[in-house]
Amino acid sequence: MIRFDTRPLVLHFRSQVTVILFLSIFSILLPAQAVRTVERGELSVYFLGEKVGYEEYVWEEHELGYRLSVKGRMTKPVVIEVESLQIELDRSFIPLRYSFKGSLGGIRQEVSSVISEGDVVNTILVNRQEQSLRSKIRRDAFLLPNPLFSPYLVITKKYGCWMEEKKNLSAYIIPQLEMPFTLEPSVEDPCLLLMQINGIQMELETDDRGHLTILQIPSQNLRVTNVFSSSR
């Protein structure tokens, strides 16, 4: 009778079981690591009561931070076409990267920015001419490209209805200049944030989860409303 050594087969079987168990555990853990919150919305822009534009946005939250992606257009009071805009932030809402492709006043332009500890390197392409612009800003400055409204979502995501007192903050009107602004909750409604920047008052209404619902600039006859949905 011929006897076969079965030890290699047993070892092989055990190694297969180990691999299967590892893959099973990994497949269970992987979705948990990759889970993210995605908010999709559309801002409608009204000027003097007339709808003059829209901005479609996607707000993504993941384990490393946040990403805001936008596209849209506006005809008044400024003509702007947004093919794509992206702002990337860390978990503390500190800006890391910015990009824009589109046209402003009929002039096509592209802007790409990298931010590290308040040091900004902007690469700007206008009419096929490229230039670099370096800036130094506050590390926690909000990126607010003019004349877009979706980036104000970052402010409401950070402060929402849980702001307790007036704050002195900073806005980088990327890629041009930085300017200070103040933000405080309304006495009547903690979910209404009052923003004063360059002599202009803006009103940012949120819900109790920090979603921007209405943005108004009374002195400029501008009103922006938001319809959004969230998923995981």
Q: pLDDT tens track of the chain, all 232 residues?
A: 334 344 443 444 344 434 333 334 333 344 444 547 899 999 999 999 999 999 999 999 999 999 999 999 999 999 999 999 999 999 999 999 999 999 999 999 999 999 999 999 999 999 889 999 999 999 999 999 999 999 999 999 999 998 989 999 999 999 999 999 999 999 999 999 999 999 999 999 999 888 999 999 999 999 999 999 876 5
Residue 208's pLDDT is 87
Q: What is the pTM of this model?
A: 0.83
How far is the C-alpha of 184 from the C-alpha of 188, rounded, in Å?
A: 12
Say which residues have a Cβ less than 8 Å from residue 115's Cβ, sequence separation at least 6: 95, 96, 97, 98, 137
Running DSSP on this structure, what letter comes out for residue 149?
S
Look at phi and psi of residue 127 and say left if phi exceeds 0, alpha if psi is from -120 to 50, else beta.
left
Domain regions of the chain by residue span: 36-227
